[in-house]
Amino acid sequence: MHKRPWLAAVLAIVMPGLGHVYLRSWFRALLWFWMVVLSVVLFVPEGMVEGISSVSGAFALSSELPFEAQLALFAVIAFSAGDAYWQASRTKQRVEGRRCPHCGHELDEELELDFCHWCTEPLPSAAADAEEPAPTSR
């Protein structure tokens, strides 16, 4: 099933790891979630973490974070979104398979035809095999 790369990236921006959950890449989702937790543990002062009791409190606290914490969290969010986008793009390319260069329809790999079954044009690999060089006379 083909997943939308932009949606995976947006979900990863909302919460790192969420885009990977959408892609059903469970290990990567856990990895990115724990990267956020690790960033908070390493860069956010202890007194600030204890004051968070709601989502609105977390947003209010984000403007008071030290620069290092903001930079670390921004990097984790940006790389998580980029990785989710890349993963979804790779999955999309694998699913699409080969397409006819003439009409653009997806080709059925199981048929192994020398022509497109949609437009009946010869496929480049089949045309290259058919156009063998003429023997030269000596």
Q: Helical H runs in 44-119? A: 46-50, 55-62, 67-96
Q: Which residues contact 21 (CB under 8 A, 6 or more apart)?
A: 11, 29
Burial label, 130 (beta-carbon count in 10 A; 0-12, 13-18, 19+): exposed
Q: What pTM, to 2 d.p., does this model score?
A: 0.60
In order along its 138 residues, the chain shows pLDDT tens digits of 568 899 999 999 999 999 999 999 999 999 999 999 899 889 888 877 776 666 666 676 777 888 988 899 999 999 999 999 999 988 655 545 677 877 777 777 777 788 888 888 888 764 454 455 555 655
Which secondary structure element, helix H or strand E, spans residue 136, and what is its range?
none
